[in-house]
Structure 1
Amino acid sequence: MKLIYQLGRLDTNMEQQKFKIGKDNEDYTEKAELSSLFLKKYFKEKNNDEVKVILLYPVSLPFNPNLIRDNSKLHEISKKKIEEIWEREDEYFNNPYNYFESYFPYCNEKDDFRIIHSLGSYSYGKKRDDAKKVQFDTTYGDIVLEIFLDMIKRYLKMNNSISEIYIDISSGHNIYISAMLEAFRHFATFTSLRHWVDKRKRPKFFITICDPILPGSENIYQVYIEEQRFNVFLESPIKRWEFEDIKSENFEDMKKMLFDKQTCELLVAVLERFLMTFSAIKNNIPLYLFDTYTIIDEPDEIQKLLDEIIEYLHVEIAKNYKNSPKLDKNKWIKIINTLGFYLGIIDVINHANILKYKKQKGVKKDDIKNIMKNIYNKFGLTNNIDILSVELDKLSPPDRRIAADILRSNFRNLLNRKNRDRIQRNFFAHCGLEENFVIVNEENGDIYVEYIDDLPELREMVGKMLLERI
């Protein structure tokens, strides 16, 4: 499916324009009110593609006195409704959807729409002497966030079936075009982080624009399409200090406003598990992924949490369109993209068929090598494969079996040393297979490795070290 976003217009001249795409004898020409609606016709006629046009309407559009002037070509019903909005301003801002759904020009042509907040102040009224002024109290960040949320909601609702997304920047104020483009970029990051097993599921992205439209002219306006490519690196959207901030009182007011206590605690726990899992993959600590005590969430649970967060934010932003909650745009986008990335990582882990090892046995050395090679190839971490192979080849069982109590005692003595930095350096230098942390056994000619068992402080230390290397 193709999805096209464009800012909706509300002008005194809403007549159809003639657009074309292509060159010479291969061009396609058709009339439409907007270039996005023209593109929908073009894609359907050319390839019989399924296409949906989503129009974004700034809530301030009706507050233009020129719309009801005698020379305005708007339909009389639309003019009357604009005057009703002016008379019942508060009612309109609580729910502007009724007007845009029923009385807006070309309301039947679009597939769906989204109202977005506006910035600035606007004077309106039938007469200049009786003009009123409306002042919008919102932020650019909230506008970016609400467009981003709309894209994410549609993408998830359609079960990742969107193959191409087009952002048409042919209409609208620069503020809203900039917000739409920024949301587009964040959304591209989300879809890239979400899909690693089958990267063909990542949609393609395009910018479209048409020649400048001159009022009253009979020109044919060329439409241009440019593909956009976004590079995504294997980096966590949320850094360690940002995670600590989410846990701290600095984020408490936001959490109280949006979530219940249980959801807040779940979000913090999930983000921590993501960070440790991500760090284990990036820093080449594979045994953490196989460890019996490591918790990696089920994808359905993460998807449910993601849906809840998106819905909470959507409801909060849409409570009133004269004001907005002034949310922390960057933080919420990072949280959403992190959950999308976690889903992508879980897909890779499940695809590689990582199984938790049995106590007192561990995981076979060759299984670690083969499974992690598959995982590292998915993420482009080919250097990790060679480094891990060297460390795995060093593993050998001791000449005689050492009692578990002695191993635990040796590790606790290690913890009591003051030079924790050196312990951490050795741990990462040996891919987490440092001799003080693991037990190596041999069975039927195969080498098995596991973390020392019944030692909670070992797992706690591993978790802390992983969080320090995000």
Structure 2
Amino acid sequence: MRGSTGQESVALIYQIVGNLNYERVQYVVENKTRKVAKFSSLALARHYINEGAEARVEFLIPLSIREPPVDEKGNLHLQSFTQKIMEELETDGEEDVKIGVSPIPAIGNYRLGGKYYQFEATPQSIAATVFFHMLEDVNLIEDDQKKVKLILDVSTGHNAYIPPLFDAARAITVLDKILGGLKNYKLTQVKYAVAEPVSRDIKKDSYQIFLIDYNVKAFMSFPYNHTELDKAANIPAYIKLEPQEKKRVADLFGDREELKKLLRQALLAFNAVKYNAPLAILNKELIELDPKKATEVMRSLASLFKEILKPTISEGRVKVTEIDFRSLANLFISLTLYIFIARKVTTLNIPIHEKGVDIEKLLVFEDIYRLIDMQVNSLILESEILKIKGERPSDIKRNFFAHAGLSKDTIKEVEENGKKYVKYNQGKVNEIRAWLSQPYTEKTNNRPKTSRKIS
């Protein structure tokens, strides 16, 4: 089951399932919710429903759990696999919980249905498969109001599948934080859940499920420099394939130059924000801002890689193409950074006249700088605007940062033997310490008085 639930808030719970015959026990979630179930994720779903959210459980099922079904041509039939698992699942009467099954690549050798099967995949391919499931389930790249509590239930399943699940969730969380300006965008909560082990020999009245925050840090850093853009736009480089297959993949994706151009615009836009050149972002000859185009490219990439990750079967070998997930995640991070900047600049609605841009209107870029913890850029920008207007900046803290910590009123200069030596005035040290502790505050920001409303 894929796509938006249409609700404002949904608890999206992923559970890796190792078999379908877990013992039915009573689970307790945060000393509140009690639920008898075979799967701990169903107890979690009931907990979040009681908390007022809609709940959805997505079971991540390795292909090795059942004999792989094939169609009349001998191809692996994923739809039949999913349908069979859905029929076998016991959901313990949770009719108001949306249930889905997502097949994931398997690793190892198994005897299934009287035959031996060899499952070939890598942790990175598993992570990529789960990542694209999550990207669609969270509806991340679409600009809507959906809010999601993301829960990773790792109470069951083979250890080989747990790290890829966390890798996928980490990538999704980073993209979410970028779109939210280093804050949550659609993911209001990310946790992982672990239940007490259930022993068939030693019975308990109930089993605790522990919910733990999964904290992921995101930084505003572009993954590539200008010399790496050509390689980043080479889609076949992310995939381990024979040369003839790589050409087919390149043809499937289409124009590589289009992706390279988009990445180049993303790098320019990012550097214009990072290095405080707001006027450059508004110059269409320098930087093209097209968030819709970037969103379309991300959709195309997701569709292409989901197709590439479809398993194949031949003579008992079930194989999933090897993907370089870390590099692929960097590609999506780059496009997401571009989408974030393009959307934010568009919402600033700065008028561009034939004679240029009203210089004071550039101050609204503070809204972007604040979002991404680059408020010092605002101090420098304001200082430069005052100079252009012929006014002398009067805020000494702003001057300090605008002059790389070398403002005249904070340093003492000594020249000796043709060399210049500088040190801070002793009387300024405590003040400088306070500035470094809190570089930017509204109270000390002596901004020129101008309307923040753009018309």
TM-score of the two chains, using structure 1 as the length reference: 0.70
Which residue in 2 is equivalent to 1:99?
81
Match in the other structure for 1:365: 359
1:339 maps to which residue?
A: 335
Change (3 A) 1:197 1:118: closer
Higher mean displacement: 335-344 or 179-188: 335-344
State the Cα distance separating 1:122 from its structure 2 match: 2.2
Contact 1:153–1:310, Cα closer than 8 Å, also in 2: no
Q: Separation in 1 of the partners of 2:215 and 2:182?
A: 19
Tell me, in whole angstroms, the C-alpha distance in 1 between the residues paired with 2:155 and 2:351: 52
Q: 2:280 aligns with which of 288, 297, 303?
A: 288
Listed as ranges, the matches of 1:153-168 within 5 Å are 153-156=136-139, 159=144, 161-168=146-153
What is the RMSD of the two structures over their aligned residues, measured on CA atoms? 3.0
Which of 148, 159, 164 is the equivalent residue of 1:179?
Answer: 164
In terms of fraction of residues, the more strand-rich structure is: 2
Who is 2:425 aligned against? none
Distance (Å, rounded) in 1 between the aligned partners of 2:157 and 2:190: 20
2:121 to 138, 155, 163: 138
Q: What residue in structure 2 maps to residue 20 of structure 1?
A: 28
Give 1:256 deviation, angstroms: 4.7
Deviation sequence 1:319-370 (CA, Å, 0-9, x none) = 5261122122122211122222222112211122234442xx22222122x2
Contact 1:100-1:107 at 8 Å conserved across structures: no
SS of residue paired to 1:231: coil
Contact 1:195 1:202 in 2 (8 A): no
Q: Give per-residue Cα distances to partners, 1:284-343, cap 9 Å, x unaligned.
A: 112211224134333222222111110111111015261122122122211122222222
CA distance in 2, matches of 1:238, 1:204: 29
The aligned amino acid for 2:283 is: D
Per-residue displacement from partner, 1:39-61 (whole Å, max 9, x unpaired)? 112222x2342010001000011
Alignment of structure 1 residues 388-403 onto 2, 5 Å: 388-395=381-388
- Once the two structures are TM-superposed, the CA of residue 267 in structure 1 deviates from its matched residue by 1.3
The answer as to whether partners of 2:29 and 2:209 remain within 8 angstroms in 1 is yes
Contact 1:170 1:208 in 2 (8 A): yes
CA–CA distance in 1 between the matches of 2:306 and 2:236? 22
Answer whether contact 1:289 1:354 (CA < 8 A) is retained: no
Question: Matched residue of 1:203: which SS?
Answer: strand
Counterpart position of 1:323: 319
> In structure 2, which of residues 274, 293, 302 is the aligned counterpart of residue 301 of structure 1?
293
| CA deviation after TM superposition for structure 1 residue 248, in Å | 6.4
Q: Read off the aligned partner of 2:56 and give its amino acid letter.
A: K
Match of 2:369 in 1: 376
Please state if 1:194 is matched with 2:198: no
2:42 and 2:57 in contact (8 A); partners too:
yes
1:411 alignment partner in structure 2: none
Decide which of 232, 243, 267 is 2:218's aligned counterpart: 232
- Deviations 1:88-123 (Å, cap 9, x if unpaired)? 699786123313323553166661121111112224
Residue 388 of structure 2 aligns to a residue in which SS? coil
> What code does the residue aligned with 2:197 have?
P
Instruction: Note if 1:385 corresponds to 2:378.
Output: yes
Q: Percent identity?
A: 20
**Cα distance in 2 between the residues matched to 1:133 and 1:316:** 25
The 5-angstrom pairing of residues 182-261 of structure 1 reads 182-196=167-181, 199=184, 201-215=186-200, 217-219=202-204, 220-247=206-233, 251=237, 254=246, 256-260=248-252
Aligned residues: 363
Query: Separation in 2 of the partners of 1:258 and 1:107?
Result: 43
Distance in 2 of aligned mates of 1:154 and 1:386: 40
SS in 2 for 1:31: strand
Any idea what SS the aligned residue of 1:38 has? helix
Cα offset, 1:255, TM superposition: 7.0
Q: In the alignment, is residue 47 of structure 1 matched against residue 74 of structure 2?
A: no
Instruction: Give me the whole-angstrom Cα distance separating, in 2, the residues matched to 1:204 and 1:248.
Output: 35
Q: Does structure 1 conserve the Cα–Cα contact (< 8 Å) formed by 2:18 and 2:62?
A: no
Match of 1:149 in 2: 132
Structure 1 residue 154 displacement after superposition: 1.4
- Superposed, which structure 2 residues align to 1:400-439 within 5 Å? none
Gaps of 5+ in 1: 63-81, 127-131, 398-445, 447-470
In 1, the alpha carbon distance for the partners of 2:227 and 2:203 equals 58
**Higher relative contact order, chain-length normalized (CA < 8 Å, sep 6+):** 1
Whether the aligned pair in 1 keeps the contact of 2:253 and 2:301 (CA below 8 Å) is no
Question: What CA distance in whole angstroms lies between the structure 1 residues aligned with 2:175 and 2:190?
Answer: 13
| Deviation readout 1:9-58 (Å, 9 max, x if unpaired) | 325x43422111233xxx332211110011112222x2342010001000
Query: What SS does structure 2 have at the residue aligned with 1:111?
Result: strand
In structure 2, C-alpha distance between the alignment counterparts of 1:6 and 1:136, rounded to whole Å: 21
CA contact 1:117–1:143 (8 Å) conserved in 2? yes
Rg larger for: 1
* C-alpha displacement of 1:210: 0.5
1:3 equivalent in structure 2: 12
Secondary structure of 1:122 counterpart: strand
